[in-house]
Amino acid sequence: MNFLAYAMGGGGAGGQGGGLGAFLPLILMFAIFYFLLIRPQQKKAKQHKLLLAALKKGDRVVSSGGLHGVVTGLTEDVVTMEVAPKVRVKVSRGSISGITGKGS
């Protein structure tokens, strides 16, 4: 019966660490994940949101699919790009990955 008491944790002396000492590795792992993964991703998302808010007609943009063009129309969700003379393509506003140049 003595074995059962040790297995349940009631019979052993010592064996239990401090409260903070047990959670210290978890806290360190979270801090590493925050500074290496979460924070940079939030910063990049904020910059992309500002880029999309600053779009205007005449900007040269590139989509996430690699399509280059000039913005000819904007709505809340859709960007109309001219990719060749008289060839216009509608793409989702969120798929614009960057501005390559400013138009006239």
Tell me what pLDDT residue 101 has: 81
Asked, for residue 59, whether it belongs to a domain, the answer is yes
pLDDT in tens, 23-35: 899 999 999 999 9
CATH number at residue 75: 2.30.30.30
11 located within any domain: no
Q: Give a yes or no: residue 13 inside a domain.
A: no
Q: How far apart are CA 55 and CA 104, in angstroms?
A: 14
pTM exceeds 0.85, yes or no: no
pLDDT at position 20 is 78
Q: What is the spatial distance between Cα 40 and Cα 81, in angstroms, rounded to a whole number?
A: 30
Burial class (CB in 10 A: 0-12, 13-18, 19+), 61: buried
Is residue 81 classed as helix, strand or coil in its secondary structure?
strand
Contacts of 84 (CB under 8 A, 6+ apart): none
CB-based contacts of 94: which residues, under 8 Å, 6+ apart? 52
- Is residue 75 in some structural domain? yes
| Domain-located, residue 51 | yes
pLDDT of residue 3: 61
Domain assignment of residue 76, yes or no: yes
Examine residue 10 and state whether it is found in any structural domain, yes or no. no
* Residue 59 lies in domain: 19-101
Among candidate residues 51, 32, 29, 50, the one with its CA nearest the CA of residue 40: 32
Structure confidence at residue 58 (pLDDT): 93
Query: Is residue 92 situated within a structural domain?
Result: yes
pLDDT on residue 22: 83
What is the number of structural domains in the chain?
1
Q: Which residue ranges of the chain lie beneath pLDDT 50?
A: none
